[in-house]
Amino acid sequence: MMTRLLLVGESWVSSASHFKGFDQFGSVTFHTGADRFVAGMGKAGIEVTYMKAHEAAEGFPFSQDGLAAYDVLMLSDIGANTLLLPPDVWLRGQRVPNRLKLIESWVSGGGGLIMIGGYMTFQGIDGRGRWHRTPVERALPVDCLPHDDRVEMPEGATPETVAPDHPVLDGVPADWPYLLGVNELTPKPGAEVILRLPQDQGGLPLLVTGSHGKGRTLAWASDMSEHWLPTPFLDWPGYDRLFANMVRWAAGAG
């Protein structure tokens, strides 16, 4: 049976000002960061619904029925405010269901939750991801720091395997490419650290699995694309297998 994944986030808009002598003009560019991931999941037989960050404010489900269409929810580089402040709340001062509580309840009932690292997940740049002390954090296998949690490693860091027999690593090559950054996280009691950074770079957890109620949860502390995952990681033969294994495991397989 095909695994159904709802991927939320991994898109952004950038605004630039251009100065040419006396004259100046602006430009706006829309970016997506999940194209490599979505292509890989398609080859792995995982059905991905890709909800861009700007779509999630109104498009993310407001009920358990809406989430019931999926086996796994993946939050990637999107802050908690997008789900806490839809237009009905932010612009019109109306009440709506708290979707962070909805996610926790859905996971407790058997849904799979994955959080992918980045500048707006976990706590993120300047603490603006704002997942610390939320119902979603309660469901995750890790605790977030209360402040900016980025660890930038321009020299590169090669993952080290802690639990080689875990199903998430099944069929994944052992020749790990380097990565360039992570979010610093604290594994919860009972969670299992699968991958970590080398001890000379802090030994921080990279891949952590756990459970919440009847559901499975997984934290990947790095990105799914640039810049924390450089080209050698994106081109690595193990990329598709690793992320597909994460999704299938969170869905209850293995």
User: What's the Rg (C-alpha) of the chain?
Assistant: 18
Per-residue model confidence (pLDDT) at position 113: 98
Question: Over the stretch 74-112, which tens digit does the pLDDT of each residue have?
Answer: 999 999 999 999 999 999 999 999 999 999 999 999 999
According to DSSP, the residues that pair with 46 across neighbouring strands are 3
Map out the domains of the chain as residue ranges.
3-9+28-250
Tell me which residue of 68, 69, 79, 32 sits closest to 51, measured CA to CA.
Answer: 32
Per-residue model confidence (pLDDT) at position 254: 66
Tokens of 254: 């293995």
Q: What is the DSSP letter of 165?
A: T
Which residues, at least 6 apart from 32, have a Cβ–Cβ distance to it below 8 Å? Answer: 10, 11, 52
According to DSSP, the residues that pair with 49 across neighbouring strands are 6
In the CATH hierarchy, which fold is given to the domain comprising 3-9+28-250? Rossmann fold (3.40.50)
